[in-house]
Amino acid sequence: MVRVKTQTEPHRTGPARAVLVLGAGAAALAGAVLLSLVMGSRPTPLPEVWAVFTGGADPFVATVVESRYPRTLLGVVAGAALALAGTLMQGITRNPLADPGLLGVNAGAAAAVVTATALFGSTSVAGTVWWAMPGALAAGLAAYTVGSRGGDGGMVRLVLAGAVVSAVLTAYVQAVALSLPETFESYRYWVVGSLGGRGYDVVWSVLPVIGVGTALALLVCGGLNALALGEEAAIATGANTLWTRSAGLIAGTMLAAGATAAAGPIAFVGLAVPHVVRALIGVDFRLQVPFALLVGPTLLLAADVVGRTIVRPTELMVGVVTAFVGAPVLLYAVRRMRSTS
């Protein structure tokens, strides 16, 4: 029997290296979580943080450290969701520049936020989540419905549909926000992206959607490996390409919608993390998915810590920091594409 060499084999990661890389990723995430609890406008020494864990800390110190718990938890959840959504979108479209907002998810969330603010005066963070999440999901569903209509239109039609939905909703957002000053004030804070000012209620609100999206992502890992070989080769191996694409796109939309609703449209995490993951662990999506769940939160928490400390005693929103970090990654990806084309 002749064994056909696939495109993924030259880059396949061995079991020992995979365990080592995943272990290093878990250690890095643990370090980022600890750093998030230690650093702030007033740094808390590590022994005092440990005293909070054991119940022997000063009440003031305990209050300061415990106030960072929801922010850290949101960073873990949102970072994992954005990284996994980006990994799915790049795998499905086979486009290394695809990001979680490909189907208009960010624009849908923004449109829902400005609508809720303009019509109902909704300005609370918890209230924003309940509007942003259905708006993001509706936009993604609309782009998917339009882009997949008419049979096998390929991914180009889907991407164009997402671009159209984003353009229309962005124009609507700008029209409403610029004509209503109160709405603009609320929107401009949300649109940058931040982990601050969110409580546990925000995390619990988006966790079911992100959980379902993560479960779907784990189910389509093998199918994504087949898609990487090309449409005809994937079908020849017996892969259900329609199921893989549909489930993957739904999962990516749910993940991006949950993260955007909770923390705002944080840029570049979903674009940059898949490149880091592929460079460290290879192209096997069965390894990319769990590793993205580690790298995404690590990057987002690290960016949040930088934003909290670089302009102390005030802070820089995490969406600004990730843009500065992600822009060089985007330039590197473009240069790499040009060199291999």
The DSSP symbol for 114 reads H
What residue type is assigned to position 128 of the chain? T
Per-residue model confidence as pLDDT tens digits over 124-176: 777 778 888 899 889 988 888 887 765 444 677 888 888 899 999 999 998 98
Q: Which segment of 6-15, 207-216, 228-237 scores lowest on mean pLDDT? A: 6-15
Using a cut of 0.85, tell me whether the model's pTM lies above it: yes
DSSP line for 246-290:
HHHHHHHHHHHHHHHHHH----SHHHHHHHHHHHHH-S-HHHHHH
With beta carbons less than 8 A apart as the criterion, state whether 248 and 88 touch: yes
Number of H helices, E strands in the chain: 15, 0
Radius of gyration for the chain, computed over Cα atoms and rounded to the nearest angstrom: 21
Phi and psi based region of residue 198 (left: phi greater than 0; alpha: psi -120 to 50; beta: remaining): beta
Q: In whole angstroms, give the CA distance from residue 76 to residue 87.
A: 16
10, pLDDT greater than 50: no
Architecture of domain 13-340: Orthogonal Bundle (1.10)
With beta carbons less than 8 A apart as the criterion, state whether 296 and 273 touch: yes
What average pLDDT is seen over the chain? 84
